[in-house]
Structure 1
Amino acid sequence: MSNSKKKATGYDKFVNWRLLIIPVVLFFIILALPTPQGMKKVGMQYSVGPKVVTNYISEQLFGAGSAAVEQWQALTARMMEQNMRMGALSKKRFMSRNEKWVKKYKIPVDSANLVKARDYVDKNISDEVFLNIMKSAYNLRTKNLNYSDLSQNDKKNADGGAWKIKVAIAMVVFVVFCFMTECMPLPGVAFCIGLILVFSGVVTRSQVAGLYWSDAVWFIMGSLMFAAAFVKTGVDKRMCMLMFKKLAVPNVRWITLIFFVVISPLAAFISDHALAAMFLPIGMLLYQNSLTDEVPEDKELAKMLMISIAMACNIGGPGAPSGGARNVIMMTYLTDMFGMDIGYAQWIMYCMPFVIVMIPLTWIVCNMLFKPRITSLAPAMRHLESEINKMGRWNRDQIWAMVIFLVMVFGWFTEKAFYNIGIYPIRLGIGVIAVAGAVAYLLAGVVNWRDYQEKVDWGVVWLYAGAIIFGRTLDQTGAAYWLAQSCIDMLAPLGMSEGLPLMLTSNGLTAVLTNLMADGPAAAAVGPITLNMASIVHPGTTFLPFMAMSTAVASSFAYCLIIGTPPNAIVYASGYLEPKDYLRVGIPMWFVANILIILLTAVYWSGIGFGSLPSF
């Protein structure tokens, strides 16, 4: 059984050069092709745009460029430029920015200058004038930048920006092909991402080293560590029995349904990362205890349990604003660009029905596509019960394992809120808390390092680290924006530029991009483009909030690749899944989800309307 497990992960495979040569050749062909004008324009926007816009805002407010004004004046212009990039065009949003926000975007600041900047905007610039300056700055960056007007140094930077986009697009082809075919071990692909970026000059060697250790990577690593502690102490057995002991017939179909019914609604309010990490050891335990001498291995059962956990996490996020950064991003865009607010309960009223409908649909598809030989998990539950009886009462290690876990979960739920209200002097992040919990298990004597070394799939940690860099490169170079803009421009002559066809285009683009990068940046890349188009063809109608919500929902459709979401990567650590298993479920559910959100818009959302706004 161990050999097949290794084979499933692909770690025992050597590089298949017959396949690998294809993405390598394609990569270099893309780099050798002439740079399209649209790519040059976006490269200019991303590399030179911030400097030009900051100077423009400074000249409008203070009559001189940002290099010739006082520090507080330069700070004002840089803050406005950063707000403009985020789609936050209103004076109200500017006045809400504090020192933490400014430092987050690496803008040099001190308290005295920030007070002066806010004071000046508050007392000297009306809401209307502020909005007009921001709109003019946005048009300058997106429409009116002219390559011929740039200085030689700026032209060099613009050319560099276009080159980075081209490298990112070539890397998309290389990485997606490698992930789908496993022509080389997947952690090796993750390291190739960093090497490509360094050799091509997109990032420096010191920058790429930092990118491999983001908070999300720490979370994946810490969560796999605490899963190892659960397995060693037997806490996973107790939690599994607590969940499923009431089932009269513990059939695998009913157990996967419980996964969906429990996990998906929770994912609207709780981090999907945490839920996947919590349920992974339970799913693995159910599988391992189901095997018998007659059926020593059932790959379909293992895959069905693991994919059910990942999909249950993925479909739940759209249900509430707290289900992901994508939701808050689109709510903010809608408010800042058009002055329309969506409340927390209002979002749930519109989007939770999507989750409710997706639960049975996804469960049915998972049960249709996977055909396990073992269908009854009754023997597994009996074996589990006997194991727990042998354990007796909760022992010291199990109690420590649960206490540390509960402290971690509390930290995950509260760290952001506690930082915002000043209880925590620094932002911890869920990754730091996860690793702190892993270290706490060591300090409490629950595990030793050998347990982590042998039970944690370190390849998955590096795999997700590469995925984070991949997504950030698409976002920060402007490659994702260029892809979205190019596709929308191409489809516009086909009648896809208004109404439900425009929404379908937006959702489809977002749903493709979110499989390659984090959901927030995917929504941020497509959202401003399609919202602006929506405001032109359907101004002041329900189409605007509906477009914002549908884009946010579509950014959760990362069903197809291991790198799509943290839950996908976490369940891959079980060793039972291959990349094609994600496609097996992900492709049909990707189409189902896209169709469902359009039907939801046409029937449910349009039926109840949105306040007093006229229908589109």
Structure 2
Amino acid sequence: MTETTKKKATGYDKYVDWKFFIIPVVLFFIILILPTPDGMKDVGTEYRVGPEAVINEITRTLYSETSVDVEQWQMISARIMEHNMRMGALSRDRYLKRDLKWCKKYKISADQKNFTKAHNYIKENVSDEAYASLMKKVVKLRKEGLKYDELFAKDKKEADKGAWHIKVAIAMGVFVVLCFITECIPLPGVAFCIGLILVFTGVTSRQEVAMLYWSDACWFIMGSLMFAVAFVKTGVDKRICLAMFKKLAVPNVKWITLIFFVIISPLASFISDHALAAMFLPIGMLLYQNSLTREVPEDPELAKMLMIAIAMACNIGGPGAPSGGARNVIMMTYLTDMFGFDIGYFQWVTYCIPYVFILIPIAWFLVNWRFKPRITSLAPAMEQLRNEIGKMGGWNRQQIWALIIFLVMVFGWFTEKVFYQMGIYPVRLGIGVIAVAGAVAYLLTGVVNWRDYQEKVDWGVVWLYAGAIIFGRTLDSTGAAYWLARTAIDFLAPLGMDSGLPLMAVSNGLTAVLTNLMADGPAAAAVGPISLNIAGMVHPGTSYLPFMAMATAISSSMAYCLIIGTPPNAIVYASGYLEPKDYLRVGIPMWFMANIALLLITGVYWAFRGFGGLPGF
């Protein structure tokens, strides 16, 4: 008689549960048919009518011509100024630092001759004071001068279109979050629903949506999962794992997870959290698989604990240094451009790395509190590792190639941006291209074949994260994230939460909510200008301004609750051991603890230390 074991159904094996799926579907359509709020129309006006109105005002002021009558170089200068305004870069100095690469990045059409002419005109004919005055004028025009009810019919149509896009983004947000939490539809299916919604509602075209699914971040997820396959196949993961943990006298699961946090979190301040998650995923999977015995053939809690520990360790480390994430650099730039305050690299580290060290024991405690594995000692797993590596003998050709290619990839991840800026690389590669190049290199060197990738890469996670990227970009580009931020702050202001630590708590909490729905950079970009503007009004010229910038950057790293929150969350989900609710088990208490820790470090350490001789608040 043949014994068959029933395989546990995963999210990929399940069919759509219409009892739950009907709820997000109905809510989606209800939101779409509700009357459009005035605030949404105002933001639609800002986003759809504002740019051209600002450009027209700039050309009229600088060149005494409307935007349709100016020369090409004049239009280039106006478009650069308008884009700078949206980024909060209001100083003339920031304009003069722009170059053709920057224009290309932000899709401002310019050639060298006209760009140089525009640059020289601002440099030679516009003073710092005149430039700042003009930028303040157009900021006021965009935010206060454009009234929906006063628009011409053509502009009102554009504003209505912008408001509709915001409404679609909000409705889609409700739909996506409920689907992720309930898992009422296979999660990669949600990713495709996002694209379909955007096309059917007219937010984007069929050509654009296809391109959106292949961002650099998506390529990185794909390449990372592919190189993890190479590590596992060759056994390099076993050698690295043994090297990390062989000194432990008692390889208890609590000590193992603590080592994850102690090693990964500080590194994540200086190294890409994407890369660290991809490096440690096969190690975590190996530890789990080798810990199973005949007595305990399966321990889901242990698998979940190890995977979540890796993701959380990556997530909490990012704020420690400017290199820990785009959000940090974004807020540093906003602070400099809007108020002229600079935060140096080392200065940022001295203020923010203590936050990382505070969160390490908190996160470690929460992971061990929320997950209760049956297997607590990994000593048998370590012994099995030693035996397997002993059978391997010395490093073989495939293992050496696997390690060399990985080290080259890591070097590329560290240097590609700097080398491009220095002119060493003629084109910006991006971490995604480097990751996929590494995956191809594994094929070329015979480390893996395509069957390995086809069978062992979780392609559903690739599509899942691609959909998450589109979702976040939609919230950002339509103005939906900005509308949510502005609405929340306006609502809480009458409650006395518009200054001091209460204002910071509101800003931090709002950013921490948004960052679970979109990438950390766009979350900081959506809330940062609003919170800094308010901070500048209520606490001008004080240490509150740099503190608000750092706090906003830190809170945008608190994407603990959803798979789509960060690349590390998505990468560890590829292990197959996690369900969406597992992120919430640790993510929700971690979210609150992180916000409390941030307020405490602001009110105690930062306030006591001050900032560069600025008065306190």
- Do they fold alike, i.e. is TM over 0.5? yes
Q: Distance in 2 between matches of 1:146 and 1:114?
A: 33
With over 3 angstroms needed to count, the CA separation of the structure-2 counterparts of 1:251 and 1:589, relative to structure 1, is: same
Alpha-carbon distance, 1:157 to partner: 1.2
* Unmatched 5+ stretches in structure 2: none
Match of 2:484 in 1: 483
Alignment deviations for residues 435-493 of structure 1 (CA, whole Å, 9 cap, x no partner): 00000101111111100011000000000000000000000000000000000001111
Q: Distance in 1 between matches of 2:512 and 2:271?
A: 22
With over 3 angstroms needed to count, the CA separation of the structure-2 counterparts of 1:150 and 1:399, relative to structure 1, is: same
Q: Distance in 2 between matches of 1:261 and 1:331?
A: 27
Alignment deviations for residues 503-523 of structure 1 (CA, whole Å, 9 cap, x no partner): 000000000000000000001
Q: Distance in 2 between matches of 1:412 and 1:39?
A: 40
**TM-score normalized by structure 2?**
0.99
With over 3 angstroms needed to count, the CA separation of the structure-2 counterparts of 1:523 and 1:3, relative to structure 1, is: farther
Match of 2:440 in 1: 439
**Matching residue's letter, 1:584:** R
Whether 1:47 and 2:41 are equivalent positions in the alignment is: no
Q: Distance in 1 between matches of 2:22 and 2:116?
A: 58
Alpha-carbon distance, 1:148 to partner: 4.1
Whether 1:376 and 2:385 are equivalent positions in the alignment is: no
Whether 1:179 and 2:180 are equivalent positions in the alignment is: yes
Q: Distance in 1 between matches of 2:102 and 2:344?
A: 23
Alignment deviations for residues 222-273 of structure 1 (CA, whole Å, 9 cap, x no partner): 0000000111111110110111111111111111100000000000000000
**Matching residue's letter, 2:199:** V
Q: Distance in 1 between matches of 2:170 and 2:369?
A: 36
**8 Å CA contact retained: 1:5, 1:576:** no
Match of 1:465 in 2: 466
**Aligned length, in residue pairs:** 614
Alignment deviations for residues 417-446 of structure 1 (CA, whole Å, 9 cap, x no partner): 000000000000000000000001011111
Partner secondary structure for residue 44 of structure 2: helix
Match of 2:611 in 1: 610
**Matching residue's letter, 2:109:** P
Q: How does 1:198-347 map to 2 (within 5 A)?
A: 198-347=199-348
Alpha-carbon distance, 1:5 to partner: 7.5
Partner secondary structure for residue 262 of structure 2: helix
Q: Distance in 1 between matches of 2:341 and 2:516?
A: 29
Alpha-carbon distance, 1:330 to partner: 0.5
Partner secondary structure for residue 136 of structure 1: helix
Q: Distance in 2 between matches of 1:303 and 1:529?
A: 38
Q: Distance in 1 between matches of 2:423 and 2:75?
A: 28
Q: Distance in 2 between matches of 1:589 and 1:418?
A: 37
Match of 1:410 in 2: 411
Q: Distance in 2 between matches of 1:148 and 1:114?
A: 37
Alignment deviations for residues 529-559 of structure 1 (CA, whole Å, 9 cap, x no partner): 1111111111111111111100000000000
**8 Å CA contact retained: 1:89, 1:131:** yes
**8 Å CA contact retained: 1:301, 1:371:** yes
Alpha-carbon distance, 1:3 to partner: 8.0
Match of 1:571 in 2: 572
Alpha-carbon distance, 1:79 to partner: 0.4
Match of 2:522 in 1: 521
Match of 1:69 in 2: 70
* Unmatched 5+ stretches in structure 1: none
Alpha-carbon distance, 1:143 to partner: 1.1
Q: How does 1:555-570 map to 2 (within 5 A)?
A: 555-570=556-571
Match of 2:546 in 1: 545
**8 Å CA contact retained: 1:5, 1:575:** no
Partner secondary structure for residue 593 of structure 2: helix
Match of 1:120 in 2: 121
Partner secondary structure for residue 289 of structure 1: helix
Q: Distance in 2 between matches of 1:143 and 1:322?
A: 36
Q: Distance in 1 between matches of 2:458 and 2:223?
A: 11
Q: Distance in 2 between matches of 1:366 and 1:151?
A: 57
Q: Distance in 1 between matches of 2:184 and 2:453?
A: 28
Alignment deviations for residues 299-338 of structure 1 (CA, whole Å, 9 cap, x no partner): 0100000000000000000000000000000010100000
Partner secondary structure for residue 66 of structure 1: coil
**Matching residue's letter, 2:290:** N
Match of 1:594 in 2: 595
Alpha-carbon distance, 1:158 to partner: 1.0
Match of 2:513 in 1: 512
**8 Å CA contact retained: 1:236, 1:282:** yes
Alpha-carbon distance, 1:151 to partner: 3.4
Q: Distance in 1 between matches of 2:414 and 2:357?
A: 23
Alpha-carbon distance, 1:156 to partner: 1.4
Q: Distance in 1 between matches of 2:335 and 2:26?
A: 43
Alpha-carbon distance, 1:152 to partner: 2.7
Alpha-carbon distance, 1:150 to partner: 3.1
**Matching residue's letter, 2:547:** F
**Matching residue's letter, 2:455:** E
Partner secondary structure for residue 67 of structure 1: coil
**Matching residue's letter, 1:87:** G
Q: Distance in 1 between matches of 2:418 and 2:8?
A: 42
Q: Distance in 2 between matches of 1:314 and 1:28?
A: 34
Match of 1:103 in 2: 104
Alpha-carbon distance, 1:146 to partner: 2.1
**Matching residue's letter, 2:45:** M
Whether 1:156 and 2:157 are equivalent positions in the alignment is: yes
Query: What is the root-mean-square deviation in Å for CA atoms of aligned residues?
Result: 1.0
Q: How does 1:423-438 map to 2 (within 5 A)?
A: 423-438=424-439
Q: Distance in 2 between matches of 1:451 and 1:514?
A: 34
Alignment deviations for residues 358-391 of structure 1 (CA, whole Å, 9 cap, x no partner): 0011101111111111111010001011100111
What percentage of residue pairs aligned between the two structures are identical?
A: 75
